[in-house]
Amino acid sequence: MPDALTRLLAIAAAPSQPRRKDWGEVERTLGVELPADYKELIHVYGGGNWDDHLYVLEPGCPNANYDLIPWAETQAEDLEGLWEFEKKPVELEPEGSHVIPWATTDNGECLYWLVRPGLEPDEWTVMVNEARGDRWEHFSVSCTRFLASCLDGELRSAILSSSFPRAAHEFRRLGAV
């Protein structure tokens, strides 16, 4: 089990039933292979809410509002339209670089994988975009390490709410609404 996932399990217990996914089908639909740590995170926790603020997206999530696949499609379109008027983050300037969402917050911030040509999915890092503005942050860690590091205080985002993380952590798996 990856170190970051072990850290998450120490922070908040996982639901008793793992989530099973047909990752081949998910990746065919998205047109890209996903990082192994994310697949393990979804297997153990599923899509869920951390500290009543951060929502991890899940492909085929029972709560369709947090389904990774439509989020990926919508965000790609929205960002392309946005970058006709705003400057792309410097991390996205190299040809073929793009982002794929993996989490969001109740304030509307979006957390992405930074996908660059020549990098394997397990080498992708995290970018955070503010909800209603053009500020971006880049963190040279995997999504699971980002989440664990935010929750245990090792890492701090200037964009995410100052009320995240909470002192007493809580995880709620997303269900049908």
What are the tens digits of pLDDT across the range 69-117? 999 999 988 888 888 888 889 999 999 999 999 999 999 999 999 999 9
pLDDT at residue number 83 = 82
pLDDT at 152 over 90: yes
Provide the pLDDT for residue 157: 96
The predicted structure's pLDDT at residue 2: 61
In which order are the strands placed within the sheet that holds 136-139? 136-139, 125-129, 110-115, 98-105, 54-56, 48-50, 171-173
Helices marked H in the chain: 3-11, 23-30, 36-44, 68-82, 143-151
Q: Is it the case that residue 61 has pLDDT exceeding 90?
A: yes
pLDDT of 76: 87
Specify which residues 156 forms β-bridges with.
none
